[in-house]
Amino acid sequence: MVGPAARWAQRRRRATLSDDERALLADPWYHDFRPLGLATPQRPGIFAPNQAAKQGLLFELLDRAIALAEAPRRSLTVLELFCADGFYSLRAAQQGVGGVVGVDTDASEVAKARLAAKLLGLHNAEFRVGDVFETTDRVPIAICAGGLYHVADPERLLRQLRGQVTDALVVQSVYHLGRTEPAYFETPAPGWTWGCRFSVAWLLAATGRAGWRVREERRNQLTGNDRPEDRGSVYLLCTPA
């Protein structure tokens, strides 16, 4: 049996890379793609421990979302908002969905996502630079990992997604470990000039108000982050209410 590392070596030998792509591949990445069979150098500091905290739970919930969809797997499209380098949507592509679409405002991250798709031989992946509030894709499944706390109005985005996503939504977000009040929400986030923070109770209520039913909820901590404002991590699998 050929393992992921061997498959990656075979693909890299076959791939023709431009000088820009070679430089991009050598640049530190947000995610370590080795679980997908691609060797990428990861940024130092918080990135490895935080990926370790999130990866298993997000893989599991994304698999459950795909299983919940009414259509055959090969006809499904997965939309990833705040996709960065496309790690989670490309994992969905490897699981046999028909196509994935990723959206992020960072052009350099989108370029890495496109390069990862090329090197992994995934031709059913589209990544584009854009504002998540301006996406109009209508899809069976979406994943919103690490994005809600980056915007000032996460409930607006949850409502928007309710109109775009027909079968299942996977959410991961930072939450404030030190605040449990159902009404706790503030923007900008503590110590930031942008984004927001909230309690898990607020997020669950906002998700319901936006028209979602939370089928599964998990929590852990992002061990790479020091502040209680940044350390809590909640994971939701939602279906239309």
Q: What CATH class does 44-240 carry?
A: alpha beta
* Per-residue tokens: 193: 């000039």
pLDDT tens-place string over residues 25-58: 999 999 999 999 999 999 999 999 999 999 999 9
Contact 220, 233 (CB under 8 A): yes
Cα end-to-end distance, the chain, whole Å: 44
The whole-model pTM stands at: 0.93
Contact 158, 210 (CB under 8 A): yes
Residue 7, pLDDT score? 54
Contact 107, 138 (CB under 8 A): no
Residue corresponding to tokens 């490309």: 90
Contact 42, 32 (CB under 8 A): yes
Residue 6, pLDDT score? 43
Residue 16 reports pLDDT greater than 90 = no
What separation in angstroms does the CA of 42 have from each of 24, 30, 55? 12, 6, 15
* Cα radius of gyration rounded to whole Å, the chain: 18
pLDDT tens-place string over residues 125-136: 999 999 999 999
Residue 12, pLDDT score? 52
DSSP string covering 106-175: -HHHHHHHHHHHHHTT--SEEEEE--GGG----EEEEEEES-GGGSS-HHHHHHHHHHHEEEEEEEEEEE
Distance in angstroms (rounded) separating the CA atoms of residues 197 and 39: 34
